[in-house]
Amino acid sequence: EDQVTQSPEALRLQEGESSSLNCSYTVSGLRGLFWYRQDPGKGPEFLFTLYSAGEEKEKERLKATLTKKESFLHITAPKPEDSATYLCAVQRASGYALNFGKGTSLLVTP
């Protein structure tokens, strides 16, 4: 059975304090790993898709990396507007479902 575990559950950073969020996964035949951002009461907003180990993608202060067992979302010099829950999901090569982790709740204080 596929498993996606995100850590930490919650993270509090000061503005400008860089850190990383972790997503560990086990899946039979990975098609892709997805990162989303979710603000309270809203639908998830797509950030990145990673398809193979060694792949990296960047967007503004965010950088996502992928290995065969885990993915990291690195946040460089975060700002208060980066506060949100960050969700990781994996998709099997043979299926349609995204299998989500429970997310990391990030709070960036001024």
Partner 1 sequence: SQTIHQWPATLVQPVGSPLSLECTVEGTSNPNLYWYRQAAGRGLQLLFYSVGIGQISSEVPQNLSASRPQDRQFILSSKKLLLSDSGFYLCAWSVGSGETQYFGPGTRLLVL
Binding-site ranges for partner 1 (CB under 8 A): 4, 31-32, 34, 36, 41-46, 49, 87, 89, 91, 93, 95-103
Q: How far is the CB of 17 from partner 1 (least distance, A)?
A: 27
- Strand segments (E) across the chain: 3-7, 10-14, 19-26, 30-38, 45-50, 56-59, 62-66, 70-75, 84-92, 99-100, 104-109
Task: Count other C-beta atoms under 10 Å from residue 41's C-beta.
Answer: 5
Q: How far is the CB of 97 from partner 1 (least distance, A)?
A: 4
Q: How far is the CB of 96 from partner 1 (least distance, A)?
A: 5
Of the two residues 13 and 36, which places its CB atom closer to partner 1 in the complex?
36
